[in-house]
């Protein structure tokens, strides 16, 4: 699937799609996307899940997940992460398994930092669910805001050409032999040059959130990719 998108829709779309697809792989590894809505076993397991009511109600109001979905997500999260948090090494392990033909460590690092909204070196269940809600069920504007945050590595409110190149190199490294045709070393920079110029409309050397969103919203391929994974849960 990803290789087909890579060949037909270009670098910028792959960056957005891999972002969402990698998040779905995280769900799969944590065992969070294999439940049935009518499963009696699920219902019995749910009875053993305990939440602080105010915490669950707050997450329900802040995300687009139902109470039952949040309970199931929490159950799987706690089963795989008994400490209640995910660290960066966990992200790297997950994506190294999913992309064995490449090196996913750098992309996992960037993705982890995007989920780690309070920058304390760990991703809590709340961090995870808030990000997941945006990626899977957020509006286009919310998804693009989240993607901008990923590309804005130093979190200064702008994307530089080097930041975009770092993300794209990480994606190429992660895809490894999955890319076709085999890429030359200079290919990521060439693609970033073209796409960055398209985004940087006032030619000031940085891309603002408004420029990023405007460019993405006017790209049919990116807009189509925004809706690929909306029915995962």
DSSP symbol at 10: -
Q: What is the pLDDT of residues 129-160, one digit of tens each?
A: 898 898 888 898 998 998 899 899 999 999 99
- Please give the pLDDT value at position 19: 54
Residue 3 included in any domain: no
DSSP character string of 160-224: EHHHHHHHHHHHHHHHGGGSSSPPPTTHHHHHHHHHHHHH-TT-SSEE-HHHHHHHHHT-HHHHH
| Residue 40 located in a structural domain | no
How many distinct structural domains can be found in the chain?
A: 1
129: CATH: 1.10.238.10
Q: Is the pLDDT of residue 168 over 60?
A: yes
């Amino acid at each position: 699937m990803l290789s087909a998108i890579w060949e037909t829709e270009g670098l910028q779309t792959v960056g957005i799609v891999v972002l969402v697809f990698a998040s779905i792989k995280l769900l799969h590894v944590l065992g969070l996307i294999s439940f049935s809505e009518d499963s009696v076993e699920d219902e019995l397991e749910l009875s053993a899940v305990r939440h602080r009511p105010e915490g669950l109600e707050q997450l329900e109001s802040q995300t687009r997940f139902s109470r039952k979905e949040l309970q199931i997500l929490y159950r799987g999260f706690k089963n795989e992460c008994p400490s209640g948090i995910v660290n960066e090494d966990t992200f790297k392990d997950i994506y190294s398994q999913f992309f064995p033909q490449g090196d996913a460590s750098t992309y996992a690092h960037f993705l982890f930092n995007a989920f780690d909204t309070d920058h304390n070196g760990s991703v809590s269940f709340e961090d995870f669910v808030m990000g997941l809600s945006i990626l899977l069920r957020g509006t286009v504007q919310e998804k693009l805001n989240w993607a901008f945050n990923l590309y804005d590595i130093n979190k200064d409110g702008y994307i530089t050409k080097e930041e975009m190149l770092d993300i794209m190199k990480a994606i190429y490294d992660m895809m490894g032999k999955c890319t076709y045709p085999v890429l030359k070393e200079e290919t990521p920079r060439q693609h970033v040059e073209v796409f960055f110029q398209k985004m940087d409309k006032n030619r000031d050397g940085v891309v603002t959130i408004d420029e990023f969103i405007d460019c993405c919203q006017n790209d049919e391929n990116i807009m189509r990719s925004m809706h690929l994974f909306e029915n995962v849960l």
